[in-house]
Every structure is written in structure tokens, then in C-alpha cells.
Amino acid sequence: MKNKEVIKQCKSGNKSAQSILFNAHYNHMYNLSMRMLANHQDTEDALVISFTKIFNSIQKFEYRGDNSLAKWIKTIVINESIRHLNRRSKNTFCEDFPENEITTANESDISGIDVEQVYSIVESLPVGYRMVFNLFAIEGYSHKEISDLLNISESTSKTQLRKARINIIDNINKAKKYGTK
Amino acid sequence: MEPNNIDSVFRKTINDSKDYYDTEANIAKKRIRNQLGLQENKSKPLMFRLLVAACILLFISTSVMFLINYKTNNTIKILTELNTDLENKFNNVIDNDLKNDKSLIAASIVTTDTIYIEKMVMVTKPIIQTVKITDTIFINQIVYVEKEVDLRSELIVDNNLTTDSIFQILLENYETEIIINSDVPIKKKKKRKFQFKFGGSKSNENDGNLALSSKLY
């Protein structure tokens, strides 16, 4: 069943079509939400609320291609993940960055890093760093869009991104130095 | 190091491993579907359903046949054992009887059996029955009445008597009732004599005549 037909059936409340839509986007949205929340339980809660909103608000959605549907769903999931963090009061953005902690690393330092280390490092980032890094570096949001989503200033978004990168490099160096992730 | 390199390396690594959390995702999928009220698509092809139904029927029929066969086998086994026991007992009885003389005597006694045979006997009754029927027949008949000598001689001498006068005389002397009346004159009846003769003449000795002879005149 094509996406257009699925959306049409979902608008009429067809459970089978909703199930098809859910199966098509569930895994990708789970990975996205998990990278942002770094907690499986929180991810489940966020996805339940996200897909509920998707099925309820699909009446207002205008189909403009398959990419439009995927982007619309991703936006809802990201927004719900952010709201989830705000509800749990976990979203903190540290504006002040001690100069002593600024470190630099060469490109060769991150060579040879494997997938598990990448995910481990991302999960270990502070909440604010993780949110901005995921939105900017992975999902491709601009600092303006990030500021609107997180209700912060663009400068704060940039600062958070820089701090996230420094933290990542630090963690990579520590892992290589001590042989741990 | 260019900061952008970190972004690119991480982006590439994460995009190449989009299914990194799939294991946990699949575990949580069922719970999330239940919370959303979605059901699994269980649309199986018709052939699959027919195949399942055929397998179930085959299983049931096989089970029933197995049970029937099992019961039959048990029955046969029991009967075989009973037959074996009976054969053994029979052989034992035969052996014991041969040793016992009484059994031989008993074997030589002729016994009669009463056989009751049912036989259907057709009893026929004569259809013809003799029925006595009494009919009254009226016959016109001349009755000859015997009369006395005296009267007879008188009657014989006097031929001029008419029938009526004769009858009158008879009525006066006999109490006989004459049924039939006739105008025909009575005929003179010839008087006849019957003679008995005892003994015979000498000339007839050789004829073989009896001592008593009779003769009617």
C-alpha cells in the first residue's frame, strides 16, 4: 500500500493503515528518540505520545511526497522528546564553559572509533549537549531552528554544540588512553 | 582537528547504523502497539488457512483411527490370551480324563437324547357332511290286507260281493283301518299250501334226498 493511500486510510480511522504507518516509521523514530533521551523507558513513553498525536493530527496533514510524511513524523517525535525532557526537568543548558576544559584533538584521534564507542559517547553527553549535537550534527537542524525548538538563544545553541564536540573528543582520548569507552 | 570532522564522522557512523537500537525497539514494540490500540496484521493467505485446516483434520482423523486400532488390538490381545488359557485348560482336562477310568466308562454309555421335532400336521376335515333330512313321501300304494279263513271261504264262494260289501264285512270283523280305497274288485287269491315231508321213498335213496323235504303248492 502506498504512502498516499495509507495516509488516506489513516484519515478515515482505519486501524490497519495506522498499523502500516507505525511499522514503517517505528524503528527509525525509536533510534532518534533514544539518541536524544538516552533512556529506553523515556523513549517508549515519548513514542507512545508521539504516535498518538500523529494518528490524531493526521487529518490536518497534507501529503506532498514521501519525504514530507517522514519529516512531519520526525518533527513530532523530536518535539515530544524535548517536551519529555522538559517535564522531567532534565534539560539544562550550561552557558558558562570553563576555559580550562577546552581541549583540542587531531583528526587522527577519532580515527578507528567504532559504532559502539560513538553511541556510548553520545549517550554519555550531558542532556543539553546531547540535544543540540543530535539536532545539529546528526539531524541537520540549524541553530535558529534549534533555538526555537529548545526555547534557547542561537548563541546558547552554538555554545552547546561546541561544548558537545569538546566533550566528545575528551571522551575519545580518555577511551584510547585507558582502553575503556 | 576540524570540528566539522567530528560531526561528519559521527553523522556517518550513526546513519550507517540506524538499526543500533533495533533490538530494544522490537522488545518495546508490542507494548507500544498495545498502548496505541493497534493490532498485528494477521492476514494470512487463503491457501495457508486451508493447509492448516487440512492438517488439523488429518490430525483428528489419525488420532481417531489410532484410538480405534488401539482398542481393537487390545481386544484381540485379550481374546488371544483367553484362547490360550482355554486351550491349556482343555489339554489339562483331556490328560486328566485319560488317566481316570470313569471317564472311559462314561464315554461308553450310550445316551439317548430326546429330540423334539416340531412338525406341522395338516388336519383336513371332509368338506362333505352327511345331513339327515327327513322328507315325507306320499305314495299311492295298494295295500293288501290278509283276511281270516272263514271269511275268506265265504268271500271266495260268493263271487257276487262287490268291493264295498267286502270292505264292509272286513270292517265289521277286523279292526283294521284301510287307508286306500279302490273300486277295483278284489281278485281271488289263490290259496297256496306249503308241505313238509319227513323221510323219503326207497326209490329215492340213491338220489341223495334229505330226510326232510318241503314243497309249495
Query: Which one is predicted more confidently, A115 or B187?
Result: A115
Candidate from B3, B7, B36 with C-beta closest to A52 = B36
Whether residue A67 is predicted with pLDDT greater than 80 in this model: the reply is yes
Q: What average pLDDT does this structure show over A65-82?
A: 92
Band (B109; pLDDT cuts 50, 70, 90): confident
| Chain A residue closest in CA terms to B17 | A115
Whether residue B186 is predicted with pLDDT greater than 90 in this model: the reply is no
Report the C-alpha gap between B144 and B142 in whole angstroms. 6
Give the pLDDT confidence score for residue B167 in this predicted structure. 55
Cα distance from A120 to chain B (closest Cα, Å)?
11
Give the pLDDT confidence score for residue B157 in this predicted structure. 46
- The dihedral sign for the CA sequence A92, A98, A101, A103: positive
- The dihedral sign for the CA sequence B160, B162, B165, B171: positive
Give the pLDDT confidence score for residue B103 in this predicted structure. 59
Share the mean pLDDT of chain B: 75
Give the residue carrying C-alpha cell 511526497: A65
**Cα→Cα distances B35→A12, A13, B32, Å:** 20, 16, 5
Report the C-alpha gap between A176 and A178 in whole angstroms. 6
**Cα→Cα distances B116→A35, A64, B119, B131, B216, Å:** 109, 110, 9, 41, 74
Give the pLDDT confidence score for residue B149 in this predicted structure. 53
Cα distance from B66 to chain A (closest Cα, Å)?
44
Q: B216: part of which helix (H) or strand (E)?
A: strand B212-216
Identify which of A20, A141, A169, A157 has the alpha carbon closest to the alpha carbon of residue A71: A141
For chain B, give the percent of residues with pLDDT over 70: 62
Cβ contact (<8 Å) for A107 and B1?
yes
Q: Is A34 on the interface with B (CB under 8 A)?
A: yes
Q: What average pLDDT does this structure show over B53-76?
A: 94
Cβ contact (<8 Å) for A115 and B13?
yes
Q: Give exposure, A109-137, as e/b (b: 16+ Cβ within 10 Å).
A: ebeebeeebbbebbeebebbbbbbbbbbb
Q: What average pLDDT does this structure show over B79-107?
A: 81
Report the C-alpha gap between A119 and B10 in whole angstroms. 9
Give the pLDDT confidence score for residue B95 in this predicted structure. 83
Instruction: Write out chain A residues lying below 8 Å of B23, CB-based.
Output: none
Over the stretch A120-176, which tens digit does the pLDDT of each residue have? 999 999 999 999 999 999 999 999 999 999 999 999 999 999 999 999 988 888 887
Instruction: Write out chain B residues lying below 8 Å of A113, CB-based.
Output: 9, 13
Report the C-alpha gap between A55 and A18 in whole angstroms. 7
ipTM of the complex: 0.84
Q: Is A94 on the interface with B (CB under 8 A)?
A: no
Q: Which residues of B touch A (CB under 8 A)?
A: 1-3, 5-7, 9-11, 13-22, 24-25, 28-29, 31-33, 35-41
Over the stretch A16-62, which tens digit does the pLDDT of each residue have? 899 999 999 999 999 999 999 999 999 999 999 999 999 999 999 98
Cα distance from A44 to chain B (closest Cα, Å)?
7
Q: What average pLDDT does this structure show over B152-180?
A: 53
Hey, what's the torsion of the CAs at A21, A23, A27, A30, to 10 degrees? 60
Contacts of A134 (CB under 8 A, 6+ apart): A35, A36, A122
HEC secondary structure over A109-170:
HHCCCCHHHHHHHHHHCCHHHHHHHHHHHHCCCCHHHHHHHHCCCHHHHHHHHHHHHHHHHH
Instruction: Write out chain A residues lying below 8 Å of B13, CB-based.
Output: 113, 115, 118
Report the C-alpha gap between B5 and A105 in whole angstroms. 11
Whether residue B208 is predicted with pLDDT greater than 90 in this model: the reply is no
Report the C-alpha gap between A130 and A138 in whole angstroms. 11
Cβ contact (<8 Å) for B6 and A136?
no
Cβ contact (<8 Å) for B14 and A35?
yes
Identify which of A179, A103, A105 has the alpha carbon closest to the alpha carbon of residue B6: A105
Over the stretch A81-106, which tens digit does the pLDDT of each residue have? 999 988 876 555 655 444 444 445 45
Contacts of B159 (CB under 8 A, 6+ apart): B188
What are the grid coordinates assigned to B182, written together? 279302490
Instruction: Write out chain B residues lying below 8 Å of A27, CB-based.
Output: 18-19, 22, 25
Q: B100: part of which helix (H) or strand (E)?
A: none
Report the C-alpha gap between A27 and A73 in whole angstroms. 12
How many CB pairs lie under 8 A apart between chains A and B?
97
Most B-contacting residue of A16, A21, A27, A173 (CB-CB within 10 A), to test interface: A27
Q: Give exposure, B64-97, as e/b (b: 16+ Cβ within 10 Å).
A: eeeeeeeeeeeeeeeeeeeeeeeeeeeeeeeeee
Report the C-alpha gap between B97 and B91 in whole angstroms. 10
Report the C-alpha gap between A38 and B85 in whole angstroms. 82
Over the stretch B119-144, which tens digit does the pLDDT of each residue have? 788 877 767 777 787 878 777 777 77
Give the pLDDT confidence score for residue B96 in this predicted structure. 82
What pTM did the predictor assign?
A: 0.54
For chain B, give the percent of residues with pLDDT over 90: 27
Give the pLDDT confidence score for residue A181 in this predicted structure. 45
Candidate from A22, A30, A168 with C-beta closest to B25 = A30
Residue type, B79: L
Q: B217: part of which helix (H) or strand (E)?
A: none
Instruction: Write out chain B residues lying below 8 Å of A119, CB-based.
Output: 14, 17, 20
